[in-house]
């Protein structure tokens, strides 16, 4: 039988051999291509990482974790509110940041405080919050939640009214087992300040024993507060408190009431905070220091020029102090760099106030590329008598954004919590538990040293021709209603 294709096989086989003998390459191309990878880094560098004595990242790297606020527990641990692995709520974290346990809540957690070792529920935390039940961006229900030492739900109390909306924004300890909650009550679309006295009973239940709506103050409601001990000879309640006004935004005020029934509760004074550098963006934390009130937050800073393309101004940290009677003692706007700065918490240390937050916070990236997020955890030492800046310390990495949301001072160590490892806008970030050495900050004050400025690269910030730099995100501007 004739097989016509057999004759073509020898030249085909020869061609195969020619092909195979054409050699194999030896110069690789993948590894050299990886050398073209570019890092986007912050030109400004942190100046105090050597002070970090311990740090730990919290949560799953693929999810969102951050600590907005923490409370010093009686057992060395901390209670906190924030996000853990993309779940919102309140929880506990161990003395060294582990374990972190979060209780998801149906309501928005607004404030928390720790119960003392002498209380009816040592190791527990009392959480205050508000719930927007109908999705209209205004709260209708208040919550008090008792959280156990292991982050477990011990008790929960719904604070409501049959004829109005009630919600809670702040909680402060009056004595070991008695607490004052601050918030608002809305009657026919008009809000009023609301205060309540809550107790934790020996069987670890929460109950409201007195409540008062300040009907003489329409259009206002209350937020975080700081309780003062009563003046000699008096037995009432006095608190410096954040006051929201429907007309003029956030204010600082003073509440006075008789105890235990909160009768005659009144708003004794309230002031708008006026910063010389621009409008005040937010008041974040109220703390009593001795017999004065200290408030920290964020203010526009017109000294940082030019302003960003897509916002009115850059922001700086704001610290302000009032007497118990509402007299302004000092006000300081602290802008260490030419990007965004904000204070989120302040604690008292020997000889100094330590305000914590974020510095050098900004977004940066090519026009058509991803938006990188930069920023550092910030600790600013402030003279409690004058508001003068004593030292400015920044912590973190130049590759991503970090920040502190809260801090606690013990024995020369400042335990800060917040977020870290946030690279790209919209991407996940992890929680940050960071303990820093601040033993010599008071010494800096005594020696009269000038504030530590942030290290700057020669020539300042690097802006590629096609790049953009925009303000980084501040903490959410919650209206507290």
Residues lying near another protein in the complex (CB under 8 A): 3-5, 7-9, 11-12, 14-16, 18-34, 36-40, 365-370, 372, 399, 423-424, 427
Other residues' Cβ atoms within 10 Å of the Cβ of residue 157: 16
We find the least distance from the C-beta atom of residue 469 to another protein, in angstroms, to be 15
Q: Which residues contact 387 (CB under 8 A, 6 or more apart)?
A: 319, 320, 321, 329, 330, 331, 332
Closer CB to another protein, 27 or 137, in the complex: 27
* Distance, CA of 58 to CA of 143 (rounded, Å): 27
Closer CB to another protein, 372 or 445, in the complex: 372
Closer CB to another protein, 34 or 450, in the complex: 34
We find the least distance from the C-beta atom of residue 467 to another protein, in angstroms, to be 9
Closer CB to another protein, 40 or 168, in the complex: 40
Q: Indicate the burial class of 477 (C-beta count within 10 angstroms; 0-12, 13-18, 19 or more).
A: exposed
We find the least distance from the C-beta atom of residue 165 to another protein, in angstroms, to be 43
Q: Please report, in angstroms and rounded to a whole number, the separation of the first and last CA atoms in the chain.
A: 96
Cα-Cα-Cα-Cα dihedral sign, residues 88, 92, 95, 99: negative
Looking at the DSSP assignment, which residues form a beta bridge with residue 111? 128
* Distance, CA of 438 to CA of 418 (rounded, Å): 18
We find the least distance from the C-beta atom of residue 13 to another protein, in angstroms, to be 9
Closer CB to another protein, 28 or 476, in the complex: 28
Closer CB to another protein, 372 or 469, in the complex: 372
Residue of 256, 226, 257, 262 lying closest to 241 (CA atoms) = 226
What DSSP line would sit under 28-89, residue for residue? -SHHHHHTT------SSB-S-GGGEEEEEEES-TTS--EEEEEEE-TTS-EEEEEEETTEEE
User: Which tokens hold the place of 212?
Assistant: 């008062």
We find the least distance from the C-beta atom of residue 24 to another protein, in angstroms, to be 4
We find the least distance from the C-beta atom of residue 311 to another protein, in angstroms, to be 23
Given a contact cutoff of 8 angstroms between Cβ atoms, the answer to whether 199 and 207 are in contact is yes
Residue of 366, 395, 385, 377 lying closest to 445 (CA atoms) = 385
We find the least distance from the C-beta atom of residue 190 to another protein, in angstroms, to be 49
* Distance, CA of 437 to CA of 414 (rounded, Å): 7
Closer CB to another protein, 13 or 53, in the complex: 13
Closer CB to another protein, 36 or 188, in the complex: 36
SS3 state of residue 222: strand
Q: Which residues contact 166 (CB under 8 A, 6 or more apart)?
A: 140, 141, 142, 159, 160, 183, 184, 185, 186, 194
To the nearest 10°, report the CA torsion of 197, 201, 204, 208: -30
Closer CB to another protein, 21 or 325, in the complex: 21
We find the least distance from the C-beta atom of residue 92 to another protein, in angstroms, to be 31
Given a contact cutoff of 8 angstroms between Cβ atoms, the answer to whether 284 and 233 are in contact is no
* Distance, CA of 107 to CA of 110 (rounded, Å): 9
Closer CB to another protein, 16 or 216, in the complex: 16
Closer CB to another protein, 42 or 321, in the complex: 42
We find the least distance from the C-beta atom of residue 42 to another protein, in angstroms, to be 15
User: Which tokens hold the place of 238?
Assistant: 């006095």
We find the least distance from the C-beta atom of residue 23 to another protein, in angstroms, to be 5
We find the least distance from the C-beta atom of residue 396 to another protein, in angstroms, to be 16
CA angle centred on 23, ends 21 and 24, rounded to 5°: 140
Looking at the DSSP assignment, which residues form a beta bridge with residue 241? 225, 253
Residue of 374, 412, 303, 391 lying closest to 47 (CA atoms) = 391
| Residue 227 φ then ψ, to 5° | -90, 135
Residue of 176, 241, 185 lying closest to 217 (CA atoms) = 185
Closer CB to another protein, 26 or 163, in the complex: 26
We find the least distance from the C-beta atom of residue 66 to another protein, in angstroms, to be 19
């Amino acid at each position: 039988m004739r097989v016509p294709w057999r004759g073509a096989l020898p030249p085909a086989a020869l061609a195969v051999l020619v092909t195979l003998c054409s050699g194999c390459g030896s110069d690789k191309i993948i590894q050299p291509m990886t050398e073209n990878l570019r890092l986007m880094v912050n030109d400004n560098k942190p100046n105090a990482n050597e002070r970090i004595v311990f740090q730990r990242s919290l949560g799953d790297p693929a999810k969102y974790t951050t600590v907005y606020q923490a409370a010093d527990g009686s057992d060395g641990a901390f209670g906190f509110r924030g996000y853990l692995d993309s779940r919102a709520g309140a929880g506990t974290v161990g003395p060294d940041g582990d374990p972190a346990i979060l209780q998801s809540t149906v309501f928005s957690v607004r404030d928390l405080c720790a119960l003392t070792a002498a209380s009816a529920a040592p190791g527990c935390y009392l959480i205050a919050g508000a719930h927007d039940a109908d999705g209209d961006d205004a709260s209708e229900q208040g919550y008090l939640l008792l959280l156990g030492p292991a982050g477990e739900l011990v008790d929960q109390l719904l604070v409501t009214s049959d004829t109005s909306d009630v919600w809670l924004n702040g909680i402060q300890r009056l004595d070991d087992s008695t607490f004052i909650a601050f918030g608002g009550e809305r009657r026919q679309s008009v809000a009023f300040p609301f205060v309540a006295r809550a107790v934790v009973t020996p069987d670890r239940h929460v109950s409201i024993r007195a409540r008062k709506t300040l009907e003489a103050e329409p259009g206002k409601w209350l937020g975080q507060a700081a309780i003062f001990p009563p003046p000699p000879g008096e037995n009432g309640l006095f608190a410096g408190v954040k006051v929201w006004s429907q007309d003029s935004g956030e204010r600082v005020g003073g509440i006075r009431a008789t105890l235990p029934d909160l009768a005659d509760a009144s708003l004794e004074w309230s002031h708008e905070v006026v910063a010389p550098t621009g409008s005040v963006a937010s008041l974040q934390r109220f703390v009593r220091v001795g017999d004065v009130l200290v408030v920290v937050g964020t203010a526009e800073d017109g000294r940082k020029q030019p302003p960003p393309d897509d916002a009115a101004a850059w922001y700086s940290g704001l610290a302000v102090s009032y007497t118990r009677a509402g007299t302004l003692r000092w006000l300081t706007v602290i802008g260490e760099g030419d990007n965004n700065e904000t204070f989120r918490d302040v604690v008292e240390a020997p000889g100094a106030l330590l305000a914590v937050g974020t510095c050098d916070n900004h977004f940066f990236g090519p026009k058509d590329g991803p938006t990188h997020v930069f920023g550092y955890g910030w600790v600013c030492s402030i003279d409690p008598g004058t508001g003068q800046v004593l030292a400015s310390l920044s912590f973190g990495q130049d590759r991503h954004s970090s920040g502190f949301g809260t801090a606690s001072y013990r024995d020369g160590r400042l335990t800060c919590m917040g977020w870290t490892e946030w690279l790209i806008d919209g991407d996940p970030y992890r929680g940050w538990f960071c303990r820093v050495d601040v033993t010599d900050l008071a010494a800096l004050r005594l020696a009269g040293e000038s504030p530590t400025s942030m290290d700057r690269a020669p020539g300042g910030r690097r802006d590629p021709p096609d790049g953009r730099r925009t303000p980084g995100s501040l903490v959410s501007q919650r209206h507290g209603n």
